[in-house]
Structure 1
Amino acid sequence: MLTSLDPRITRLHLPDAPPSIEPKEAFDQFETYEAFHQKKDGTAFTYVGPVHAPTADVAFLFAKEQYSRRFPCTGMWVAPTRAISLTRYVGDTESVYDFVTEQLPAQAGPEPDESVQQAEAYARGEEDYAIFHLKKRGKAHVHAGMVRAASPEEALLQAKAVFGEQRPVVNVWVVRWADVLTSDEDDRDIWSTTPEKKYRDAIAYKVQDRIDRFKLEGNK
């Protein structure tokens, strides 16, 4: 029997050796998804944060509730975290593309026409990839554009060819477009009830006038 300086432990008559414990099964954890938000038409989608969800559809709903209730929103994308490939981080005045040393293979002969290019791309298993740039540490990744490639590694090389002159680029995310769940025109009504979300801005309340008056009086 286990004895202790605490008599309450001794009174429990616990065995001196702990019983064998069977290993627990792995917990059923929700997958993480990354959410991207568009404030208004024509602007780039910007990363706003993660959500945990069992499916992409549920992740979209969670992201909508979490990240678009307080601000104007015209569109949202969600992608599983596991689907995102990322580069190293560099300094705020550098470009990570300068450290991507591999090159795309050069094409021999004349440039093929578009139909031949499409056939070759299909044969190589090329897909669309979304490219996101981080311009400064502490900011958010912003959608820079799309490239076509057969792998995330090749997509990064394509991104260097297309966006490599942009500076600074502290970090790059590469996301296979097939893994991204996007909003479309039919989804716009989920934000239409309060498109500007003014009811949550302090400036929309009369109390803001009192705050401004209080600050003005305090400075006299």
Structure 2
Amino acid sequence: MNNSLDPRVKRLTLNESNTSLKEGEHWNIFEVFRQDKRGGHHVHVGALHAPDPAMALIFAKEQYGRRKECFNLWVVCSADILAFADEDAEMFVNNKEKNYREASGFKVRDKIEEFKKKSGE
């Protein structure tokens, strides 16, 4: 028996039952993001189960919006979030060689001097 408090873990054995779920009985997992003050950024605060986005927003307000000051909440169905696979992590490794960002990487001064000589200045 699994004693986890995470609702996603508790529902892992849901598919093992022989009865199929009726419309409205299958609740989706929604990720909740909270904005503490106007103009601030939204921060992921947790997940919850709800039958639809409207109810998810109500549940999110009750669960994540009443203890701490809250300006706004977002709910997003977990299935709608796209992410890169762990195997793709190397694409985010930064190139430490960034001469192209420094002025020394450009030969503009030489080109300007050459242009001035050709134009007779």
* TM-score class normalised by the smaller sequence: 0.5 to 0.7
Q: How many Å separate the matches in 1 of 2:93 and 2:75?
A: 31
What is the match of residue 70 of structure 2? 169
Q: Give CA deviations for 1:37-82 in whole Å, capped at 9, x if unaligned.
A: xxxxxxxxxxxxxxxxxxxxxxxxxxxxxxxxxxxxxxxxxxxxxx
The 5 A counterparts of 1:118-197 are: 118=14, 123=22, 124-194=25-95
Structure 2, unmatched stretches of 5+, are: 1-9, 103-121
Aligned-partner residue type, residue 87 of structure 2:
D
Structure 1 stretch displaced more, 164-173 or 124-133: 164-173
Structure 1, unmatched stretches of 5+, are: 1-113, 200-204, 206-220
Please state how far the C-alpha of 1:147 moved relative to its aligned partner: 0.7
Q: Give CA deviations for 1:108-150 in whole Å, capped at 9, x if unaligned.
A: xxxxxx57x9469x54121111111111111111111111111
Please state how far the C-alpha of 1:178 moved relative to its aligned partner: 1.3
Give aligned pairs, total: 85
Q: How many Å separate the matches in 2 of 1:164 and 1:176?
A: 18
Q: How many Å separate the matches in 1 of 2:74 and 2:60?
A: 10
Q: Is the 8 A contact 2:60 2:73 kept in 1?
A: no
Q: Is the 8 A contact 2:50 2:56 kept in 1?
A: yes
Q: Secondary structure of the residue that 1:189 maps to in structure 2?
A: helix
Q: How many Å separate the matches in 1 of 2:54 and 2:61?
A: 11
Q: How many Å separate the matches in 2 of 1:186 and 1:138?
A: 35
Aligned-pair RMSD on alpha carbons?
Answer: 3.3
More helix by share: 2
**Deviant stretches of 4+, over 2 Å:** 117-120
Q: TM-score with structure 2 length normalisation?
A: 0.55
